[in-house]
A = this chain, B = another copy of it.
Amino acid sequence: MIVTAHTVRFDSLPLDNGAILGPVEIAYESYGELNAAKSNAILVLHAFSGDAHAAGPGPEDGKPGWWDNMIGPGKAFDTDRYCVICSNVLGGCRGTTGPASINPATGCPYGLTFPVITIGDMVRFQRMLVDSLGIPRLLAVTGGSMGGMQALEWAVAHPDRVVSAIPIATTARHSAQQIAFNEVGRQAIMADPNWNGGDYYGKEPPARGLAVARMVGHITYMSDHSMREKFGRRLRGKEAFGFDFEVDFEVENYLRYRGSQFVGRFDANSYLYISKAMDYFDLTGGQASLAVALQPARARFLVISFSSDWLYPSYQSQEMVRALRARNCDVAYVELQSSYGHDSFLVDVAEQSALIRGFLASTFEKLA
């Protein structure tokens, strides 16, 4: 599989808040080869804490990408047939312009002077990338969680550029509970004195606040069942309770580890900006109903949710599917049985792969 990693620079990007940001850079990787007609490109959109490294060995550390079990030769997104592209989102911290980038007006990192961005802004930036690659239409746009939001946004905001969309474990808009979990993460970061109003670059970062935010996230990504299976009440390296506030249970150790590990690879301000973009996302966009808002969409849809995903529960996918059907869109919906909670789209991929493989093949055939 051919893996290429690039960064593309643009002079300016118009934003939903009315501002124009520039210059801007977008980091992306691609896997597989674009055909002569440029009709086999699939844009994979990452979730909250993901990045452009979706598959293959990492350019720096050799670690597999976040969807390596889905992208590659013979896999769901078959790189022998398709050219898969994945870019880091606007506001991110893995190569694409975000709050840690240098503000050319000041020569210092943006910090909190970075504009509050939206899923629409992320997708507009991706479209500039796709345009620059000379790809007239994407065979598919797909992703889980926030990646699914971007896929939906593509289908509605850029309908002539999308043949099909595969939104997975996602929603047309965050519920109060989803906003609440994001807000707790933001508050944990902003409560850390090292956050310092977002101005911490070159100083001590708000590592403890960011770690707490990540711990909350991890609980919501798993299911009660999968946590019982994986940890139960097993103690960590001891036979009896310590009667102190060190780690007693395996699950405590796991959360602390995941929290501290995250700090090394993610920027706290990116956490704020990207989570805010998710909360702002509302596909209805001021229209009377979701069905009305979906009117521009021309894509074929495959919508997937997971039975144990309590963070993005199936009823949210079903709401989308009803609205798409109300517009006579070509939409297939499957709720997959899985015990892994929201993480299912990343880890429990056998059935998901079969579904997507078939959907892509039939979409590609119809094109020809």
Residue ranges of A at the interface with B (Cβ–Cβ < 8 Å)? 17, 112, 115-116, 173-177, 179-181, 183-184, 186-188, 190-193, 208-209, 211-212, 215-216, 218-219, 222, 224, 227-228, 230-233, 241, 243-245, 248-252, 255-256, 259, 272, 276, 279-280, 282, 310, 313
Copies of chain A in the complex: 2
CA distance A280 to B235 in the complex (A): 11
The answer to whether A180 touches B255 (Cβ under 8 A) is yes
Q: Which of A174, A192, A216, A218 has the most CB of B within 10 A?
A: A216
CA distance A112 to B184 in the complex (A): 26
- Provide the residues of chain B in CB contact with A116, threshold 8 Å: 241, 243-245
The answer to whether B176 touches A230 (Cβ under 8 A) is yes
The answer to whether A251 touches B176 (Cβ under 8 A) is yes
The answer to whether B249 touches A279 (Cβ under 8 A) is yes
- Closest Cβ neighbor of A174 among chain B residues: B233
The answer to whether B245 touches A276 (Cβ under 8 A) is yes
- Provide the residues of chain B in CB contact with A224, threshold 8 Å: 175, 177, 310, 313
Q: Which of A184, A192, A251, A279 has the most CB of B within 10 A?
A: A184
CB distance from A1 to the nearest CB of B (A): 37
The answer to whether A176 touches B233 (Cβ under 8 A) is yes
The answer to whether B191 touches A209 (Cβ under 8 A) is yes
The answer to whether A241 touches B188 (Cβ under 8 A) is no
- Provide the residues of chain B in CB contact with A279, threshold 8 Å: 248-249
The answer to whether A243 touches B17 (Cβ under 8 A) is yes
- Provide the residues of chain B in CB contact with A174, threshold 8 Å: 233
The answer to whether B216 touches A184 (Cβ under 8 A) is yes
CA distance A260 to B282 in the complex (A): 29
A187: contacting residue among B186, B215, B228, B248, CB under 8 A: B215
CB distance from A204 to the nearest CB of B (A): 11
The answer to whether A215 touches B176 (Cβ under 8 A) is no
CA distance A218 to B216 in the complex (A): 13
- Provide the residues of chain B in CB contact with A193, threshold 8 Å: 193
CB distance from A218 to the nearest CB of B (A): 8
Q: Which of A177, A228, A279 has the most CB of B within 10 A?
A: A177
CA distance A215 to B17 in the complex (A): 29
State whether A227 and B187 are in contact (beta carbons under 8 Å apart), knowing that A249-B279, A280-B241 are contacts in the complex.
no
- Provide the residues of chain B in CB contact with A280, threshold 8 Å: 241, 248
The answer to whether A282 touches B233 (Cβ under 8 A) is yes
- Provide the residues of chain B in CB contact with A179, threshold 8 Å: 233, 249, 251-252
CA distance A358 to B259 in the complex (A): 49
- Provide the residues of chain B in CB contact with A244, threshold 8 Å: 116
Task: Supply 20 A–B pairs (Cβ within 8 Å), ascending by A.
Answer: A173-B233, A175-B232, A175-B233, A176-B249, A179-B233, A180-B215, A180-B251, A181-B219, A183-B215, A183-B251, A187-B255, A191-B192, A191-B208, A191-B209, A224-B310, A224-B313, A233-B282, A241-B280, A248-B280, A249-B279
- Closest Cβ neighbor of A215 among chain B residues: B184
A212: contacting residue among B191, B218, B243, B259, CB under 8 A: B191
CA distance A232 to B175 in the complex (A): 6
State whether A245 and B272 are in contact (beta carbons under 8 Å apart), knowing that A191-B209, A192-B191, A282-B233 are contacts in the complex.
yes
- Provide the residues of chain B in CB contact with A219, threshold 8 Å: 177, 180-181, 184
9 more A-B contacts (CB under 8 A) besides A187-B255, A188-B191, A216-B216?
A174-B233, A175-B232, A176-B227, A179-B233, A180-B215, A180-B227, A180-B251, A184-B255, A188-B188
